[in-house]
């Protein structure tokens, strides 16, 4: 198969957002798995990065994703109380709450960066989450702020 035709087909396709999704290994990632094996249809825009716990997320991970051209970032961990490491997500929650307000304060559009809790049993809810985040980011259009130019 020749792939010379590919750029053209790509070029004529409407813009689709790229969403970097940091998913906690123990819940949200398993939720994504469940959505997959249940053959649920949801937008293919999320690029999943598996992390050991939502507590692993460093604000710089989010900023770097935006800098490298992600149109949206989603961070998802276990529901409060269900963290595999007991309180990783509760410590993270404070960080996330401050972080979300902070990057919106500097002028990054609300909705570009989202946080959620998702359990391993919530396949359909996971599919709905990805759909919702993708729709939100589509509405905002391609990311321009914080993006590296060179």
**In whole angstroms, how close is the CB of 29 to ligand FES at the nearest point?**
9
Stretch that binds another protein, among 5-13, 17-25, 28-36, 140-148 (CB under 8 A): 140-148
Measured CA distances, 96 to 7, 14, 54 (Å): 38, 32, 10
Instruction: Tell me which DSSP letter residue 108 carries.
Output: P
78 in contact with ligand FES (CB under 6 A): yes
Following CA atoms 17, 49, 35, 115 in sequence, which dihedral angle do they give, to the nearest 10 degrees? -70
Measured CA distances, 18 to 47, 57, 75 (Å): 7, 19, 14
What part of residues 79-118 is at the interface with another protein (CB under 8 A)?
A: 80-81, 87, 90-91, 93-110, 114-117
- Residues found near another protein in the complex (CB under 8 A): 59-60, 63-64, 67, 74, 80-81, 87, 90-91, 93-110, 114-117, 125, 128-129, 131-133, 145-150
């Amino acid at each position: 198969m020749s792939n010379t035709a590919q750029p053209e087909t790509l070029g004529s396709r409407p813009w689709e957002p790229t969403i970097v999704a940091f998913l906690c290994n123990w819940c949200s990632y398993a939720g994504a798995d469940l959505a997959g094996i249940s053959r649920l249809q949801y937008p293919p825009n999320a690029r999943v990065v598996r992390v050991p716990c939502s507590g692993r997320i460093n604000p710089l991970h989010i900023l770097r994703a935006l800098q490298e051209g992600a149109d949206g970032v989603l961070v998802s961990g276990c529901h409060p109380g269900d963290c595999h490491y007991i309180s990783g997500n509760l410590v993270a929650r404070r960080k996330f709450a401050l972080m979300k307000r902070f990057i919106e304060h500097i002028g990054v559009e609300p909705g570009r960066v989202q946080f959620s809790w998702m359990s391993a049993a919530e396949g359909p809810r996971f599919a709905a989450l990805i759909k919702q985040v993708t729709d939100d980011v589509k509405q905002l259009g391609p990311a321009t702020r914080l993006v590296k130019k060179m």
